[in-house]
Structure 1
């Protein structure tokens, strides 16, 4: 499944994210997970029903955002978009999305100038039922003619560890009861291995131990929800604090996870 990571601070602000293995190799792996090695391979049209664009825009509503989003839509032609860290209320966009034919939406407005998640889609091609929006995520059931329904959970996790605990409690509850295909994607504000974070720290040994505990906890949470990392191509790290030299920290905070279905 194509997955796009966008860096709005660069002039060239999009990167095409594609699977590192061929479709045939991925189908073989999935059949292995499910114990279906001897059955007919899955067909592409049975799985890939739509393109999805998830963008942390770091502030919406200005002319640069509008110009960049129009370009992204023109290039990738997504049926559904999720825009994160909007920093402005959805109503401030007026008719902008309607002109792009994204006439249906579900949204969580920011608190002050922090956060904000918007989910937008074209109801002529896909039906989306938003079921559980919150400041850290929007959950929606995605329906399309001739394709099975699936669940999308677009995540913008809090930097506060206690709030992230609440988010993962929700995910674990969903995982216990879900029967349909499930995609959980975007910014988890966490990492699965210390190598996914690079920074200079004066107390390196103690810092490494803390990073190992944090990454182990995140990995255990992914496993407890029976989620699989889809992987991606592109930059190894997806977030930077934009500081220079020894003050610089870069981390891979972004992932796309799914269940075996």
Structure 2
């Protein structure tokens, strides 16, 4: 099964929609997590083609900012919405042919530090409620974990980075490190003005290390947004992938 996460940075312009849909067709995911649609739920469902090809669960934007969506192929996977807020949405994913199930949390991090701290608290509570079930926490977290996750601009340790590290550690999150690139966002400027950061990622929580599963993440080519999309392939252990990668827990 293939998951895709992408901060599309708005889905209003027809030309941009065509670019992004072309990316969906090339990647062929079963589940798509979208951040920053900049759309209300009804418009998002219409523009993303819900009822024609996808099923969907959306969170309204606030004016011209925010907006979340989870899309899935109903012919392949069952997805049941659980709960949501303006910065996250949670669903239950069931793939019967693989005997696979998990909770999926799609995250769009806020800009203000205080709101980020509240977001970490919310997600920690969600994870505590569903443990030990496998949970995948994915999206644009608007935060980095180390200096190496940013290049260009001013690099300094800030409270947001420390709080994000604390959240990851206290929630026992394990990142599926994506191949194909070290950064997921760019300001698209040239030369000395260029800034890139790692803001988007996939985390695992719960008893993921007890399940006979292989996880492989990859940063994909950018198109239509200043964020790169990232895919996560989940398969049963023993079924070879083109580039096998199994996450292991180290003490």
In which range does the TM-score fall when normalised by the shorter chain? 0.7 to 0.9
Give the CA deviation at 1:188: 0.8
Matched residue, 2:40: 89
1:230 aligns with 2:183: no
Asked whether the 8 Å contact 1:175–1:226 carries over to 2, the reply is no
Deviations 1:200-256 (A, max 9, x none): 44xxxxx63x34x54333222101111101100123222233445555432111111
Matched residue, 1:186: 139
Matched residue, 1:108: 59
Q: Which ranges in structure 1 are unaligned for 5 or more consecutive residues?
A: 1-49, 202-206
Give the CA deviation at 1:187: 0.9
Moved more, 121-130 or 185-194: 121-130
Secondary structure (helix, strand or coil) at the match of 1:218 reads helix
Among candidates 52, 57, 62, match of residue 8 of structure 2: 57
2:35 and 2:10 map into 1 onto residues whose CA distance is 8
Among candidates 68, 74, 79, match of residue 30 of structure 2: 79
Deviations 1:65-96 (A, max 9, x none): 33123322322221221221111223225375
Matched residue, 1:198: 151
Matched residue, 1:117: 68
Matched residue, 2:229: none
Q: 1:96 to 1:130 in 2, by over 3 A?
A: closer
2:117 and 2:36 map into 1 onto residues whose CA distance is 20
Deviations 1:120-157 (A, max 9, x none): 22222211111111111111111121423200001111
1:116 and 1:238 map into 2 onto residues whose CA distance is 19
- TM-score, length basis structure 1: 0.71
Matched residue, 1:172: 124
Deviations 1:35-75 (A, max 9, x none): xxxxxxxxxxxxxxx21122211111322233123322322
1:78 and 1:195 map into 2 onto residues whose CA distance is 30
Higher relative helix content? 1
2:85 and 2:164 map into 1 onto residues whose CA distance is 21
Asked whether the 8 Å contact 2:174–2:203 carries over to 1, the reply is yes
Matched residue, 1:41: none
Asked whether the 8 Å contact 1:193–1:216 carries over to 2, the reply is no
- TM-score, length basis structure 2: 0.73
2:16 and 2:72 map into 1 onto residues whose CA distance is 18
Q: Which ranges in structure 2 are unaligned for 5 or more consecutive residues?
A: 209-251
1:159 aligns with 2:111: yes
For CA contacts below 8 A with separation 6 or more, give which structure has more relative contact order: 2
Structure showing greater Rg: 1
Q: 1:76 to 1:218 in 2, by over 3 A?
A: same
Secondary structure (helix, strand or coil) at the match of 1:170 reads helix
Give the CA deviation at 1:179: 1.9
